[in-house]
Amino acid sequence: MAKVDKFEDLDCWKAGRELVNMVFDLCEKASLAKDFDTKSQIKRAAVSTMNNVAEGFGRYSAIEFVRFLNIAQSSALEVRSMSYILLDRKYITQQEFDSLYKQSNTVANLNNGFIRYLVNKGKSKDKTGV
């Protein structure tokens, strides 16, 4: 992997940004506008997917970075779970659900792949871990 100088270059952050925009756009729909709790929760979870990547990037160790990537991954799965609520409450269409589900999976998978990379990179250097 090439050296990355800023978090904005990371694919997992870029995918999180796409997820945030998707969620914010869906939250502007009239059907969801009055459900403030659900709207707030899914927005916070989506924002967490990109902000935790950025925050972890600024840490001084791979171990801390992995911890923040785990949070970002979990937040993506929270968005995926909440997408079922939006669908079941008829706040979104099946097509919107499918797009949200796919993007939240992409975010989770990219974070998981990056976690595996950092963990394996640390193990190859020595036996102390990341």
At 40, the amino acid letter reads S
**Regions in the chain scoring below 70 on pLDDT:** 1-2, 123-130
What pLDDT, on the 0 to 100 scale, is given for residue 125?
55
What pLDDT, on the 0 to 100 scale, is given for residue 126?
46
Name the pTM for this structure: 0.90
Q: At what angle do helices 36-57 and 94-125 cross, to 10 degrees?
A: 20
Instruction: Give residue-wise pLDDT tens across range 21-58.
Output: 999 999 998 888 889 999 999 999 999 999 999 999 99
CATH tag, 8-21+35-123: 1.20.1440.60
What pLDDT, on the 0 to 100 scale, is given for residue 129?
42
Q: Distance (Å, rounded) from C-alpha 130 to C-alpha 58?
A: 16
What pLDDT, on the 0 to 100 scale, is given for residue 30?
80
SS3 28: coil
